[in-house]
Amino acid sequence: MKLFDPSETTNDLDALLREGGFEPEDAKVDGIKQIISRNYAKRTAEVLERVNEVLAKYMAANDD
């Protein structure tokens, strides 16, 4: 399950890069964007996993 459409996050990141004076279509910048995107996808998945664990514990503790 994806929380965001890839184009949504890419458009946001591209806008931030342009504001910082970088050209998002540049090959090196695009490579960095891919690394950043993978990192945030991984971190988001970890946070969602933790939320699910907390919810499961809460539900088990209140399953009376």
Task: Give per-residue pLDDT as tens, 29-58.
Answer: 999 998 988 898 899 899 999 999 999 999
Instruction: Give domain status of residue 5, yes or no.
Output: no
Read off the tokens for 60.
Answer: 């088990």
Q: Is the pLDDT of residue 2 over 70?
A: no
Instruction: Give domain status of residue 17, yes or no.
Output: no
Within 8 A by CB and 6+ apart from 44, the residues are 3
pLDDT for res 49: 95
Instruction: Give domain status of residue 9, yes or no.
Output: no
Q: Is the pLDDT of residue 59 over 90?
A: yes
Q: Is the pLDDT of residue 1 over 60?
A: no
Domain that holds residue 58: 26-64
Total domains in the chain come to 1
Q: For residues 2-13, give the mean pLDDT.
A: 76
Instruction: Give domain status of residue 61, yes or no.
Output: yes
H runs (alpha helix) in 3-26: 6-19
